[in-house]
């Protein structure tokens, strides 16, 4: 019996006759929807109507047939880059899935990032068992340690070959995933049969083709507490200003979400939306107007915002990322100087919770997300898939080619609803210049 089609019609009270006052938020056109904007009911391509011209991702999950014999398989795990809530949850999830579900008994944790795969550093790998990771999810950081920086690809593959590692799980951000891609190329060049599967980690939430990266929810929840503290400090003083610098080198998701969740922020500054300090419409005059009107203000700035305002050396860090100027301290000094020159009292409190935000244990939502990512990664690896990462897209867990995600960063789109929600919540001018 064929099921009756779903009736998704939404009743209306009649024709709409009045123009919305939200036609523009400041000078920015609002992203209105119309009746033809629809979301597909099913995220899968249907069996009887596959359209090969429509891009789609392979769905994650257990496979009936495996490439590797679990009893003869050796697994390696490495965590790289900066810390993020949920790293220990991922390691624990991989170890438990490999051991309890597939019966894989040889699992090594390589210490201190990619350095652990280069023997001359002398970092002895850890032997991982369910008992050794039983309580790992209750702690922040990573029990394996981490590091930044490029290592010799050949030496890393030499270690994998010497230890007879068949599957390598790489947990890290965009730089780490680029390294994983190079490891795959060297493995293929040597004609080896090893699986390399990535699990994307970045609290900046800037990995392409992902609903979110693990640890993001925990990170912005911790950031909200810092924003609330800034609000208390600002409202408790004459012309109080709470200035909070949050993580976000190239993407301002944490700043946006922290402002929306806190609902007491007056200005959000992110890398995707340039701003100026001086002039009638600049940040400083806008801040002075806000203080005159309300008596206090809270400013949230992402670490990568306003870099054009500062002189930087152009140097790079160990991961090859450009060293950014400290926008938080820069704004602190400029705001204080601006009001001092105008003989106006201002009480500015500066908060930088960066290491607190990324070092806390994962919350319950990220616990679940990390567990499912780890399970999906193991399912993919034992079936012989490689050069890929596992993630969630439109609510479904999928396999993504590494080459697809390492050539760009996900960013806040200033023309879309997230940024418009921030503008509506803060009441800040859409353009500060």
Q: pLDDT tens digit string along 315-337? A: 666 656 678 899 999 999 999 99
177 in the same domain as 71? yes
Lowest mean pLDDT among 225-229, 352-356, 384-388, 404-408: 404-408
| Percent of the chain with pLDDT strictly greater than 70 | 89
Q: Which domain holds residue 90?
A: 58-213+362-405
Predicted local distance difference test score (pLDDT) of residue 264? 92
CA-to-CA dists, residue 76 to 117, 340, 361, 378, angstroms = 10, 57, 23, 11
Predicted local distance difference test score (pLDDT) of residue 184? 95
Which pLDDT tens digit goes with each residue over 130-140?
999 999 999 99
Cα angle, residue 147 at apex, residues 144 and 152 outer, rounded to 5°:
110
Please give the model's pTM, rounded to 2 decimal places. Answer: 0.89
135 in the same domain as 74? yes
206 in active site: no
**Domain for residue 316, yes or no?**
yes
Mean pLDDT of 178-204: 94
For all residues of the chain together, what is the average pLDDT? 89
207 falls in which pLDDT band (50, 70, 90)?
confident
Q: Which residue has the tokens 């799980």?
A: 169
Lowest mean pLDDT among 6-15, 130-139, 222-231, 348-357: 6-15
303 in the same domain as 370? no
Q: How far apart are CA 106 and CA 25, in angstroms?
A: 58
**Domain for residue 331, yes or no?**
yes
Spell out the SS3 assignment of 143-171.
Answer: CCCCCCCCCCHHHHHHHHHHCCCCEEEEE
273 in the same domain as 170? no
240 falls in which pLDDT band (50, 70, 90)?
very high
Lowest mean pLDDT among 121-135, 294-308, 317-331: 317-331
Q: What is the number of structural domains in the chain? A: 2
299 in the same domain as 184? no
283 in the same domain as 242? yes
Lowest mean pLDDT among 284-288, 363-367, 390-394, 405-409: 405-409
Q: How far is CA 52 from the centre of its chain?
A: 31
377 in the same domain as 351? no
Bridge-based pairing state of the strands 126-127 and 106-110? antiparallel
22 falls in which pLDDT band (50, 70, 90)?
low
The answer, yes or no, to whether residue 14 has pLDDT greater than 80, is: no
Which pLDDT tens digit goes with each residue over 377-392?
999 999 999 999 999 9
| Of 153, 149, 181, the residue nearest 82 (C-alpha) | 149
Say which of 89, 166, 204, 266 is annotated catalytic: 204
160: domain CATH number?
3.40.50.450
Question: Is residue 297 a contact partner of residue 283, using CB atoms and an 8 Å limit?
Answer: no
292 in the same domain as 171? no
CA-to-CA dists, residue 281 to 87, 132, 290, 339, 432, angstroms = 43, 57, 12, 16, 5
The answer, yes or no, to whether residue 47 has pLDDT greater than 70, is: no
371 in the same domain as 285? no
Predicted local distance difference test score (pLDDT) of residue 425? 93
239 in the same domain as 158? no
Strand, helix or coil at 200? strand
Q: Give the H or E element holding residue 122.
A: none
Q: How far apart are CA 163 and CA 307, in angstroms?
A: 45
Mean pLDDT of 299-306: 96
The answer, yes or no, to whether residue 36 has pLDDT greater than 60, is: yes
């Amino acid at each position: 019996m064929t099921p009756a089609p779903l009736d998704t019609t939404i009743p209306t009270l009649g024709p709409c006759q009045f123009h919305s006052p939200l036609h523009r938020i400041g000078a920015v056109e609002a992203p209105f929807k119309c009746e033809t904007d629809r979301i597909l009911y099913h995220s899968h391509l249907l069996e009887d109507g596959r359209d090969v011209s429509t891009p789609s991702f392979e769905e994650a999950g257990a496979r009936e047939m495996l490439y590797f014999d679990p009893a003869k398989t050796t697994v390696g795990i490495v965590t790289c880059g900066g810390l993020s809530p949920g790293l220990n949850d991922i390691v624990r999830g991989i170890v438990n899935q490999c051991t309890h579900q597939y019966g894989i008994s040889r699992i090594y944790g390589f210490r201190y990032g990619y350095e652990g795969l280069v023997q001359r550093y002398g970092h002895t790998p850890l032997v991982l068992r369910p008992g050794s990771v039983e309580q790992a999810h209750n702690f922040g950081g990573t029990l394996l340690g981490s590091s930044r920086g490029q290592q010799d690809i050949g030496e890393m593959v030499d270690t994998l070959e010497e230890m007879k590692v068949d599957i390598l799980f790489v947990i890290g951000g965009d730089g780490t995933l680029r390294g994983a891609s190079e490891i795959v190329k060297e493995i293929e060049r040597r004609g080896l049969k090893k699986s390399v599967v990535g699990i994307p980690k970045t609290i900046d939430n800037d990995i392409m083709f992902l609903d979110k990266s693990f640890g993001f929810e925990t990170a912005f929840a911790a950031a909200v507490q810092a924003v609330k503290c800034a609000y208390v400090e600002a409202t408790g003083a004459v012309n109080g200003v709470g200035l909070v610098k949050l993580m976000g080198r190239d993407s301002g998701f944490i700043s946006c979400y922290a402002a929306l969740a806190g609902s007491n922020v007056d200005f959000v500054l992110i890398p995707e939306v340039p701003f100026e300090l001086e002039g009638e419409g600049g940040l400083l005059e806008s801040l002075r107007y806000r203080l005159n009107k309300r008596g206090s203000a809270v400013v949230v700035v992402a670490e990568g915002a306003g870099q054009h305002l500062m002189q930087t050396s152009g140097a790079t860090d160990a991961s090859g990322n450009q060293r950014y100027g400290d926008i938080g301290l820069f704004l602190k000094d400029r705001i204080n100087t601006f009001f001092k020159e105008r003989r106006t009292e201002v009480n500015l409190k500066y908060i930088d919770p960066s290491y607190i935000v990324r070092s806390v244990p994962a919350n319950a939502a990220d616990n679940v997300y990390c567990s499912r990512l780890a399970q999906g990664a193991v399912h993919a690896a034992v079936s012989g898939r490689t050069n890929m990462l596992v993630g969630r897209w439109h609510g479904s867990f999928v396999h993504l080619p590494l080459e697809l995600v390492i050539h760009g960063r996900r960013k806040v789109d200033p023309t879309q609803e997230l940024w418009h929600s921030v503008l509506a919540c803060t009441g800040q001018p859409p353009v500060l210049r």
